[in-house]
């Protein structure tokens, strides 16, 4: 790969390319490859470090410190703050996610087009499907092989089957998975087809350059068109990165709107409409060993209630994180350590209605304000209730929800069922995590109600484009990586064709 | 003169930083003590210099501030009731206090306890010996 390490660049400098792309996650990588393949010169700028699979750590703390933004401790603001997880490494969140791959659901696409008919032409579903097909082939996306799925995933299938909830092995971008359960720490075997191992090296073969350990501070523009970006290398140099044809923002639904704000580009709902998929989880304790750190990290899912905005998944994890889900503190927690090998952890992702905002603080750090609605909490209670029933049906002797004011432990399916109606209403009673972030620079034809137009171009400024999940008009209810890849590829193809 | 004051300030800072660190390790050990039967160490002893170095380098300001507040609050709140800080209580009182905080009706108490429990778990997860023991053990 053509690499430039910002850590060894103490002096100021300048570089020029046809396209300057901010962010090296799925969106940035897809655009970079598309435009580089068409012969354009490309510079991808990434804030995080470059890591090889052999650099990844087995334990979650070291992995989070090295690969996650803020040690995984970025928090939303609001009455019930919750962490949101983002990768900060070359390859972005694709390096540290569970590799779950979902096509953009047709019903979600229809909703977008119904709300803004201009999107029917701008994002033709057939074209997105064709691009998704291409990605599925290239990234080896296939259902999880039962041979490596492991007990944790097999029990999930058993529980979902018993409850009559449609379920299936998760399609993932992993080739010859060894079932080592380390997706969330970065795959040390290099089997996950994350962007650092796939699209980015391909883009580099076409001549793209990756400047990592370099943080983009703002977009350089003259109020009519974008000229490039101003960036700070980790070594301390100030770099003026000029774009002959366009600047493409692909820095995530949190960082992209902040960059727009910090660059004085605040026309339209910049940073508004923030959406995500808050997730809650249930721990079940089985008589037989489960070893939730073995097998496919996230190998099986329950999809029967997707239309209601609920999706269920296995949550494999390292023991460092798993221990936090054991009940109690002090001597009680210490005693429960013996239960770790027998614990299963399953989660539900909620397609929340809540909409938040993203703005930079005075110090330039993103401030995400987000508060779940009553309807979101009702879905969460239902999701946890179903997870508890599934765990019991799969053979768990008891289930621990970790909800303040809820039952300490659940041993009876009727108790689990009752949680949906009787569980606490207050979001502060729950320990939830927010993933899959969308909508902060939404696409649309009306500049008053959207930030980018149907061509991915920012309404306010020529030659500035947004290609990440910020442009999604709403959350999708499913894991977005493949949808992001499809939309960003479309964006890249159009930029390449624009000449 | 300014340099001298600056040196004194830095010395004071590192001294108070070391005290906070010692108190944090003590608290982590109380939240996740050693399990003699399994042979796992306490979270406090697993949180070695390398752990804190990584924490200091990577944790956002909010998390670092949260830990400092949690250490101070959880250590000294028992003083109001028992006239002694947490680490000077007998084990039964310590357990009762920590359980009370984890289940407190005050959200802040629960969150502070959760921050310490999270760090204790992550710290123990960095200990190679503890990992081996915990991953293979059967109850």
Domain ranges of chain B: 2-29+39-136
The DSSP code for B106 is S
Choose among A70, A321, A329: nearest Cβ to B113.
A329
Residues of A in contact with B139 (CB under 8 A): 338-339, 342
User: Could you give the percent of chain B with pLDDT greater than 70?
Assistant: 86
Q: Where are the alpha helices (DSSP H) in A245-372?
A: 255-262, 319-322, 331-336
d(CA A110, CA A469): 17
Q: What are the backbone dihedrals phi and psi of residue A411, each rounded to the nearest 5 degrees, phi first?
A: -125, -10
Average pLDDT over every residue of B89-95: 92
Residues of A in contact with B57 (CB under 8 A): 65
Highest mean pLDDT out of A15-24, B16-25, B81-90: A15-24
Q: Residue B62's pLDDT is what?
A: 84
The DSSP code for A103 is P
Q: How many beta carbons lie within 10 A of that of residue A145, not counting itself?
A: 15
Interface of A with B in 192-231 (CB under 8 A): none
pLDDT tens per residue across span A49-81: 999 999 999 999 999 999 999 999 899 999 999
Residues A320, B121: C-beta atoms closer than 8 Å: yes
Residue closest to A227 by CA, chosen among A218, A238, A236: A218
Q: Residue B63's pLDDT is what?
A: 87
- Quickly list DSSP for A433-461: EEEEEE-TT-B-S-TTT-SB-TTSBBTTS
Q: Residue B12's pLDDT is what?
A: 53
Active-site residue flag, A291: no
pLDDT(B81) > 90: no
Q: What sign has the CA pseudo-torsion B59, B62, B68, B73? A: negative
Give the count of alpha carbons within 13 A of A198, CB side only: 27
Q: What angle do CA A46, A49, A53 make, to 5 degrees?
A: 120
The DSSP code for A20 is E
d(CA A45, CA A35): 15
Task: Choose, from A109, A152, A221, A436, the residue flagged as catalytic.
Answer: A436
With a cut of 50, list the residues of chain A below it in pLDDT: none
Cβ-based neighbours of A479, under 8 Å, separated by 6 or more = A97, A98, A100, A101, A102, A349, A436
Q: Residue B101's pLDDT is what?
A: 95
pLDDT(B9) > 70: no
CATH entry, A2-51+89-99+102-138+194-271+440-497, from 1.20.1260.10, 3.10.450.50, 3.50.50.60, 2.10.109.10? 3.50.50.60
Cβ-based neighbours of A398, under 8 Å, separated by 6 or more = A284, A285, A409, A410, A411
d(CA A317, CA A247): 37
Residues A404, B103: C-beta atoms closer than 8 Å: yes
Cβ-based neighbours of B25, under 8 Å, separated by 6 or more = B44, B45, B47
Q: Residue B139's pLDDT is what?
A: 40
Residues B63, A60: C-beta atoms closer than 8 Å: no
pLDDT: which is higher, B130 or B16:
B130
| Residue B48's pLDDT band (cuts 50, 70, 90) | confident
Residues A70, B98: C-beta atoms closer than 8 Å: no
pLDDT(B138) > 70: no
pLDDT(B10) > 70: no
d(CA A199, CA A182): 21
pLDDT(B61) > 70: yes
Cβ atoms of A96 and A63 closer than 8 Å: yes
Collapse the DSSP code of A410 into the 3-class scheme (helix H, G, I; strand E, B; otherwise coil) and give the result: strand
Residues B59, A291: C-beta atoms closer than 8 Å: no
Cβ-based neighbours of B110, under 8 Å, separated by 6 or more = A404, B101, B102, B103, B104
Q: Are strands A398-400 and A366-369 parallel, antiparallel or unpaired?
A: unpaired
Q: Residue B3's pLDDT is what?
A: 60
CA distance B123 to chain A (A): 7
The domain made up of A143-183+274-434 has a fold known as Glucose Oxidase; domain 3 (3.30.560)
Please state the ipTM of this predicted complex.
0.92
| Residue B136's pLDDT band (cuts 50, 70, 90) | confident
Cβ atoms of A437 and A468 closer than 8 Å: no
Residues of B in contact with A73 (CB under 8 A): 59-60, 62-63
d(CA A165, CA A179): 25
d(CA A161, CA A168): 10
Q: Please report, for chain A, the start and end positions of each structural domain, with discontinuous segments joined by +.
A: 2-51+89-99+102-138+194-271+440-497, 143-183+274-434
Residue closest to A271 by CA, chosen among A372, A362, A349, A370: A370
Closest Cα in chain A to B132: A319
């Amino acid at each position: 790969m053509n690499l430039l390490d910002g850590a060894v660049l103490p002096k100021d400098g300048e570089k020029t390319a046809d396209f300057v792309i901010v962010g090296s996650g799925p969106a940035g990588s897809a655009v970079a490859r598309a435009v580089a393949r068409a012969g354009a010169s490309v510079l991808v700028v990434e804030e995080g470090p470059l890591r090889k699979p052999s650099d990844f750590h087995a334990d979650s703390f070291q992995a989070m410190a090295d690969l996650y933004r803020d040690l995984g401790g970025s928090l939303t603001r609001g009455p019930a703050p919750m962490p949101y997880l983002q990768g900060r490494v070359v390859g972005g969140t694709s390096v540290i996610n569970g590799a779950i791959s979902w096509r953009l659901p047709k019903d979600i696409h229809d909703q977008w087009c119904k709300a803004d008919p201009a999107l029917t032409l701008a994002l033709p579903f057939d074209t997105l499907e064709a691009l998704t097909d291409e990605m599925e082939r290239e990234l080896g996306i296939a259902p999880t092989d039962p041979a490596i799925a492991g007990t944790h995933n097999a029990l999930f299938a058993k529980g979902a089957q018993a409850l009559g909830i449609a379920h299936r092995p998760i399609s993932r971008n992993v080739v010859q998975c060894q079932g080592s359960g380390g997706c969330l720490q970065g795959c040390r075997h290099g089997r996950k087809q994350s962007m650092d191992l796939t699209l980015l090296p391909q883009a580099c073969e076409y001549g793209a350059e990756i400047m990592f350990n370099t943080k983009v501070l703002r977009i350089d523009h003259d109020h009519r068109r974008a000229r490039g970006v101003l960036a700070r290398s980790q070594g301390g140099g100030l770099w003026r990165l000029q774009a002959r044809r366009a600047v493409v923002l692909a820095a995530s639904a949190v960082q992209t709107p902040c960059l727009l704000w910090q660059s004085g580009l605040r026309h339209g709902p910049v940073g508004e409409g923030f959406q995500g998929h808050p997730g809650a989880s249930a721990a079940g304790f089985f008589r037989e060993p489960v070893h939730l750190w073995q097998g496919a990290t996230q190998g099986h899912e329950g999809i029967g209630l997707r239309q209601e905005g609920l999706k269920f998944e296995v949550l494999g994890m390292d023991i460092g994180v798993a221990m936090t889900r054991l009940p109690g503190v002090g001597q009680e927690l210490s005693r429960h350590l013996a239960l770790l090998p027998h614990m299963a952890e399953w989660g539900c992702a909620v397609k929340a209605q809540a909409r938040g905002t993203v703005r930079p603080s005075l110090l330039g750090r993103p401030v995400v304000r987000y508060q779940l609605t009553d309807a979101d909490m009702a879905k969460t209670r239902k999701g946890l209730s179903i997870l508890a029933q599934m765990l019991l049906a799969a053979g768990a002797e008891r289930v621990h929800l970790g909800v303040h004011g809820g039952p300490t432990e659940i041993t009876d399916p009727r108790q689990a069922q009752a949680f949906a109606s009787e569980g606490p209403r207050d979001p502060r009673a729950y320990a939830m995590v927010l993933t899959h972030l969308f909508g902060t620079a939404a696409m649309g034809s009306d500049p008053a109600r959207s930030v980018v137009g149907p061509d991915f171009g920012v309404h306010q400024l020529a030659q500035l484009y947004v290609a990440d999940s910020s442009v999604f008009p709403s959350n999708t209810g499913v894991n977005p990586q493949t949808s992001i890849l499809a939309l960003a590829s479309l964006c890249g193809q159009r930029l390449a064709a624009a000449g | 003169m300014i340099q001298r004051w600056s040196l004194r300030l830095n010395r004071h800072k590192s001294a108070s930083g070391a005290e906070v660190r010692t108190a944090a390790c003590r608290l982590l050990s109380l939240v996740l003590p050693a399990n003699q039967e399994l042979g796992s160490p306490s979270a406090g002893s697993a949180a070695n210099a390398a752990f804190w170095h990584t924490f200091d380098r990577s944790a956002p300001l909010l998390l670092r501030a949260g830990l400092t507040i949690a250490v101070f609050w959880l250590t000294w709140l028992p003083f109001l009731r028992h006239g002694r800080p947490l680490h000077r209580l007998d084990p039964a009182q310590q357990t009762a206090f920590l359980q009370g905080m984890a289940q407190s009706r005050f959200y802040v108490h629960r969150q502070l306890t959760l921050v310490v429990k999270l760090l204790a778990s992550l710290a123990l997860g960095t200990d190679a010996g503890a990992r081996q023991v915990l991953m293979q053990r059967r109850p």
